[in-house]
Amino acid sequence: MTEEIIIAGFGGQGVLSMGKILAYSGIMQDMEVSWMPSYGPEMRGGTANVTVILSNERISSPVLNSFDTAIILNQQSMDKFESTVKPGGVLIYDDNGITRHPSRKDINIYKISATNEASKAGLIKVFNMIVLGGYLKVKPVVKTDNIRKGLEKSLPARHHGMIPENEKAVMKGMELIEAIQIL
């Protein structure tokens, strides 16, 4: 199994840390992982993205031009990454601030209103974990208990008190995600 994912959105949405938690969770179940962030001018312009690869085999290129799954959290990222989803792949997006919805007919599309839910439920800090939950509902590439272990590994010990809230957010995301187009 190899899953190639791009997660893209604004800086501050927790894009990079979502990828890191996913990577750690993969390690917890003995997978090979790579996490390749954008760190260049696009990051300084306010957008951030990270390529995460989870695989049972040795990972070749950490840099990719097409993905099994794109998780898209703002309009700029929609414009840039909708076309990079492999035919038959998955696009998950948060519709907050999206003016041009995805239009491809050859991919599976899911929507998750995580921004709205996070502000309603007072879960702004764990917004990214709601999105991660939605993704894992669609693609259960890592087990939920490994997400917990991944959180333990990637959060500093002083923040371990927040793990239950993060787990709650993952569950919330699993409920929240809705299919828009299934092939």
Partner 1 sequence: MERELKLMKGNEAIAEAAIRAGADSYFGYPITPQSEIMEYLMAQKPHERTGMVVLQAESETASINMVYGAAACGKKSMTSSSSPGVSLMQEGLSYIAGAELPCLVVNVQRGGPGLGTIQPSQADYFQTVKGGGHGDYKLITLAPSSVQEMADFVKIAFDLAFKYRNPAMILSDGAIGQMMEKVYLDPQVPRMKEEELPSWGTQGKKKGQDHKIITSLELESEKQEKVNLRIQAKYRQLEEEEVRFEAISCDDAEYIFVAYGTSARICQKAVDMARERGYKVGLFRPITLYPYPFKQLNKLADQVKGMLSVEMSAGQMVEDVRLAVNGKVKVEHFGRLGGIIHSPDEVFNALLNKIIGG
Interface with partner 1 (CB under 8 A): 20, 23-24, 27, 32-37, 39-41, 59-65, 153-154
| Pairing state between β 67-72 and 2-10 | parallel
Task: Give the nearer residue to partner 1 in terms of CB position, either 101 or 143.
Answer: 143
d(CA 73, CA 114) in angstroms, rounded, equals: 9
d(CA 5, CA 26) in angstroms, rounded, equals: 13
Closest approach, Cβ 23 to partner 1, in A, equals 6
Task: Give the nearer residue to partner 1 in terms of CB position, either 75 or 154.
Answer: 154
Query: Which one, of 55, 80, 81, lies nearest residue 70 by Cα?
Result: 81
Task: Give the nearer residue to partner 1 in terms of CB position, either 150 or 173.
Answer: 150
Closest approach, Cβ 41 to partner 1, in A, equals 8
Closest approach, Cβ 37 to partner 1, in A, equals 6
Closest approach, Cβ 156 to partner 1, in A, equals 11
Closest approach, Cβ 118 to partner 1, in A, equals 26
Q: What phi and psi values does residue 11 have, to the nearest 5 degrees?
A: -60, 140
Task: Give the nearer residue to partner 1 in terms of CB position, either 65 or 103.
Answer: 65
Query: Which one, of 72, 68, 73, lies nearest residue 82 by Cα?
Result: 72
- 154-158 long-range contacts, CB within 8 A, separation 24+: 154/17, 154/20, 154/21, 154/24
Task: Give the nearer residue to partner 1 in terms of CB position, either 64 or 98.
Answer: 64
Task: Give the nearer residue to partner 1 in terms of CB position, either 57 or 120.
Answer: 57
**In this structure, are residues 87 and 63 in contact, taking their beta carbons and an 8 Å threshold?**
no
Residue count of the chain: 183
Closest approach, Cβ 66 to partner 1, in A, equals 8
Residue type, 138: V
